[in-house]
Structure 1
Amino acid sequence: MTTNGYAMIAQVRFRELKTRVGLALFIAGTAWFLTKGLWPIGWFAVVVVTQFIDWLVFRPTRLNTQMPLSRAYRVVMCLTTTLNVVVYSAISAYLWMTGGEAGRLFAIIQVAGGLLHVSLHMHHVRPLLLSAVVPHSLYFLGLPIMGAVLDGQPQDVLIAIGGVLYMTHLIVAVRQSSMTTRALQDANDEARAERRKAEVASAAKSDFLAVVSHEIRTPMNAVISAANLLRRTRLDREQREHVSMLLDAGDVLVGLLNDVLDFSKIEAGKMQLEAQDIDLRDKIGSLIRLWEPKASANGVRLKVLIDDAAPARIRTDPLRLQQMLFNLLSNAVKFTEDGTISIAVDWRAEDGRLIVSVADTGCGIPADRLAHIFDSFEQVDAGTTRKYGGTGLGLAISRRLAEIMGGRLTAESVEGEGSVFTLSLPVEVAEASVVEPKRRAMADDALAGKVILAADDHAVNRRILTLLLEPHGCRIVLVENGAEAVEAAAAQRFDAILMDMQMPVMDGLEASAQIRLHGLNRQTPLIALTANAMDVHRAAWDATGVHAFLTKPIDPVLLAETLAEACSGAVNDTVVQNVA
């Protein structure tokens, strides 16, 4: 047996120390009651001494479960165990000889109990088991045999025979218990090994997704930014259509990447919700404005009906609500080639539920496929993917988000007639507040004359930043890594700093911390502009006190507005670009 077995028994004996001493006190009191002698008191005093010795001997391995055990130390533990058993059960011999029939019965029961106890909790370590069982057995069988021989009571032999049968059953029970314990230990070891494998696999998947996300976003930033820059130039109608197709395809690719990242977060149980007060009708209206042009292009009409009883403002996670409704509308527009898409918003006051139904007159879903449309990577058939595109993650993510938020998402459909998706979500009614004025459009000269430090190790990204920002009248100082950013920030005052995350020599997080420590730009607004878009990266930037967190591909309008806001010197909440 490994040294861990000795340590485990040492811990068990320590936990049971008070119980053994208390039981010894009860036995001493019973023995005194049966014999009216002083020997039980002396026996109890010796038991206390031997229990202290036991505590002292087993203490080192109990405190250090991994300590190597020498052969001599193991022998000492076995001898200590034998001494304790001999002393503890010595009272049985005393009661057998002086306690009459009641004393003999009590003595045999006490030894039988001791045998059962040591067999169950010491069977992990055979030397200790034998050290405890042998003395108990000598008492258990020796007392009846001694009575038969010395006292001339042959009926005591029957007690000894009964003792043998008891010990036989005990051996079988201990063996079965040992096998069960070993099987449980093996199962636990296997489960721990599998859990370690799963944790390693999960970490590898997270690392892989982080790398893939970064590596895809970096070239996508170049593609989408170049398309945005191209759209600013003088183009004919056909060229503008080509640029629009390029931007639409880029948006689809970024959306697919975000879906995969969201699904990974949900699967890992790392999806976090943030409750905020939102204007319900504004939220629905913004989604309608987004999808109405695409629906109209297909000859489809969007209709909206909002229950008058629905609260003006609700408290929920606005990003996840928007994501679910976005997926439902996207699904409806994608699969409806003519007719109508109806969005109905109802309010169930009795349990505070918002009910949003999206009904379309599209192709519908076959009955045998309806139960699977919320499965990951599922679509109606392979032809659906070829014709309409997509990964089949949108509905799966939406249902999982609804469940995480305490709601549910269901679907009804008739093939050839259309589908109805219903989102039922518990929300809180928020207090009506004074309507804040809409944010003013950025002034044309908001960045004029501003000096911006931009750190990015990718030459194309630096070129894109120059082309995007210089038309606003600002001057861009470009550096290739964090160390150069720290050096530049120590030499010149900037109005704002754009910082990439992964860079050679010194990364963006360390560079930001260095800039914040000392120098001319300790208070300069710092904006993270990175292809590292996962939550762990967002949290790392938040810890640096970053003014804003923007992700690539770059949104030119959001970038310019964020810089203008930062350079204005106004105190604002951190700006966060949603990546979902």
Structure 2
Amino acid sequence: MTANGYAMIAQVRFRELKTRIALAAFIAGTAWFLTHTVWPAVWFGAVVATQGLDWIVFRPLRKRPEVEPSLAYKIALCATASINVIVYSGIAAYLWAEGGEAGRLFAVIQVAGGLLHVSLHMHHVRPLLFAAVIPHSLYFLGMPIAWAIIEGKPQDMLIALGGVLYMMHLVVAVRQSSMTTKALQDANTEARSERQKAEVASAAKSDFLAVISHEIRTPMNAVISAANLLRRTRLDREQREHVSMLLDAGDVLVGLLNDVLDLSKIEAGKMQLESSVMDLREKLGSLGRLWEPKAAANGVRLKIEIDPGVPDCVRTDPLRLQQMLFNLLSNAVKFTDDGSITVSVDWRDADSRLVIAVADTGVGIPADRLARIFDSFEQVDAGTTRKYGGTGLGLAISRKLAEIMGGRLTAESVEGEGSTFVLSLPMEAVSKPAAETRRKPVEQAGLYGKVILAADDHAVNRRILSLLLEPHGCTLVLVENGEEAVEAARTQRFDAILMDMQMPVMDGLEASARIRAGGMNRRTPLIALTANAMDVHRAAWDATGVHAFLTKPIDPALLAATLVEACAESTDEDDAQVA
């Protein structure tokens, strides 16, 4: 038997030590009541002594359960177990001889209980089991046999026969218990193995998603940025349509990539929620302005109806709420060719819950498919993807996000008449924050005359940054890796720094840490601009104290606005130092 079996028994015996001594005290009291002699007290003292020996001998196994006991140590363990049983059940022989009819009955019950006890908790280790069972068995069968011979009553042999039947049942029970224990151990071992495999697979999936996200975003940055730059040039109507198709396709690809990453985070339990004040009417208005032209292109009217009781501002996760509403509106626009789409917004004071219903007059969903539309990668039929596009992730992610936020997302639909999706979320109604006053409007500050350091190892990305930012009147200093960025920051003062993450020689995180460590740019706002878009990457950048975290493909408007804000912050700090 392995060391684990001996060590497990050592732990069990230690935990049951107080119980055994307490039971011995009860037995000694009962024996004194039946015999009125001093011997039960002497027996109890012997029990305490042998239990102390048991505690000492088994102690090394409790301290170092991983060590395989030597043969001599195993013999000592078995001898200790036998001595304990001989002494513990010795009171049964005394009661059989001196306790009368009640004493003999009590003696049989006590030894039967001892047999059951050692059989159940020592069957993992055969040597210890035999060392404990044999003395018990000798008492159990020997007492009635010896009594029948001494008293000359052969009929008392039936007691021994009953003892044999009891032990046979006990053997069957112990064998079944041993088989059950082994099955449980095998199942636990298999479960641990499968869990380890699942953890390895999950880590591999996360690594794969991180790599594939980076590798897809890098060329997509070139495609989408080039399309944005091309749209700024003088194009005829047909060329402008081609560019619009290119940008629309790029947006779809990035959206699908983000959906897969979000689903992965949700399934891994790593989705983190933010909490901030959001102007609800402004958010709904912006979504309406975004989707109204797309609905109108299908000949569909989009209406947003907000109940007067809905608060102006709420505290929630604005990004995730926008993501869910975006998915619901996208779904409604996609599957509605005629009629209207109505977004109804209500507020329940009783439980501070926002209820948003998105109803359309579209194709509807068959009743037998309605329950499955929230499953990942699930769509109404195979032709849906071919006709309307998408992977079926939007609704699945929206429902999971709603549940994470403590709410729910439900659907009702009649095929051929339309569908209604109801999003219900708990959130706090808050007062509208006072308008902030600025020393000067950020929009007016602009990027004109600003000097910006940009580190990126891809020549195409550096070219794109030049084409996107230089028309704003700023000066770009472009470097190819983190080491060059650190050297440039050591010799020249910048208004802002754009930093890629994965670069040769020195990565962006290390370069940022070195720039922050000291020098003329230690306080310069630093913006992460990377194709590494997962939460673990965002957390790593947050630890360096970045001003903002932007992902590729680059959103030109967001990039410019972020740089304007960063440069304004840098100017404010310079003014404060001068003052």
| TM-score, scaled relative to structure 2 | 0.93
Unaligned regions of 5+ residues in structure 2, if any? 573-579
In structure 2, the partner of 1:496 is: 496
State yes or no: 1:218 paired with 2:229: no
**Counterpart position of 1:429:** 429
2-structure distance, mates of 1:490, 1:316: 42
The separation in 2 between residues aligned to 1:316 and 1:24, in whole angstroms, is 63
Deviations 1:435-474 (A, max 9, x none): 5579997546632333222222222112212222222232
- For each residue in 1:356-402, what CA deviation from the matched residue of structure 2 results, as whole angstroms up to 9, or x when unmatched? 22222323333443333222222232332222211111122222222
C-alpha deviation, 1:136, in angstroms? 0.7
Gaps of 5+ in 1: 573-580
* C-alpha distance in 1 between matches for 2:571 and 2:381: 52
The equivalent residue for 1:578 is none
Q: Could you say if the C-alpha distance between residues 483 and 510 of structure 1 is closer, same or farther in structure 2, counting changes exceeding 3 Å?
A: same
Distance 1:511 1:72 in 2: 62
Change (3 A) 1:97 1:417: closer
Equivalent residue runs for 1:299-448 within 5 Å:
299-435=299-435, 442-443=442-443, 446-448=446-448
Q: Does 1:81 align with 2:81?
A: yes
Q: Tell me: CA distance 1:231–1:424, structure 2 relative to 1, closer, same or farther (3 Å).
A: same
Which residue in the other structure is 2:175 paired with?
175
Q: Match for residue 201 of structure 2?
A: 201
Q: State how far apart, in whole Å, the 1-side matches of 2:438 and 2:303 are.
A: 25
Q: How many residues align?
A: 572
Check whether the contact 2:442–2:568 (CA below 8 A) recurs between aligned residues. no
Given that residues 445 and 472 in structure 1 are in contact (C-alpha distance below 8 angstroms), is that contact kept between their aligned partners in structure 2? no
TM-score normalized by structure 1? 0.93
Return 9-18 or 436-445, whichever deviates more. 436-445
Give the residue type in structure 1 aligned to 2:401.
L
Corresponding residue of 1:106: 106
Instruction: Return the offset for 1:570.
Output: 6.3
Moved more, 196-205 or 232-241: 232-241
Maintained 8 Å contact 1:444/1:472:
no
- Say if 2:497 and 2:524, in contact at 8 Å, map to a contact too: yes
Contact 1:498 1:529 survives alignment (8 Å): yes
SS of 1:569 mapped into structure 2: helix
The corresponding residue for 1:135 is 135
| Higher alpha-carbon deviation: 416-425 or 53-62 | 416-425
Distance change in 2, residues 1:483/1:75 (3 Å): farther
Alpha-carbon distance in 1 for matches of 2:514, 2:498: 15
Distance 2:31 2:365 in 1: 84
Deviation at 1:267, TM superposition (A): 2.1
Give the direction of change, closer, same or farther, for the CA distance of 1:216–1:404 in structure 2 (3 Å limit): same
Query: Which residue of structure 1 lines up, in the alignment, with residue 576 of structure 2?
Result: none
Q: CA deviation at 1:571?
A: 11
Change beyond 3 A, Cα 1:442–1:555? farther
Query: How many Å apart are 1:155 and its aligned residue?
Result: 4.1
Partner of 1:162: 162
Alpha-carbon deviation of 1:150?
Answer: 2.6
Number of the residue aligned with 1:54: 54
Q: State the SS of the aligned residue for 1:460.
A: helix
C-alpha distance in 2, partners of 1:375/1:252? 20
Q: Is 1:41 aligned to residue 41 of structure 2?
A: yes
How many Å separate the matches in 2 of 1:440 and 1:560? 17
Match of residue 577 from structure 2: none
1:185 has 2:182 as partner: no
Kept in 1, the 8 Å contact 2:2–2:68? The answer is no
Give the SS at the match of 2:550.
Answer: strand
- In the TM superposition, residue 135 of structure 1 has moved relative to its aligned partner by 0.7
Q: Which moved more, 1:336-345 or 1:443-452?
A: 443-452
Contact kept in structure 2, 1:313 and 1:429, CA below 8 Å: yes
The residue matched to 2:27 in structure 1 has which SS? helix
Q: Is the 2:496–2:570 Cα contact (8 Å) retained in structure 1? A: no
Cα deviation code 1:120-154 (max 9, x no counterpart): 00001111000000011111111111212234344
**In terms of mean alpha carbon deviation, does 417-426 or 65-74 score higher?**
417-426
Looking at structure 1, the residues matched to 31 and 439 of structure 2 have their Cα atoms a distance apart, in angstroms, of: 91
Give the Cα–Cα distance (whole angstroms) in 2 for the partners of residues 450 and 278 of structure 1: 32
Q: Write the letter of the residue equivalent to 1:98.
A: E
- Secondary structure class of the residue paired with 2:149: helix
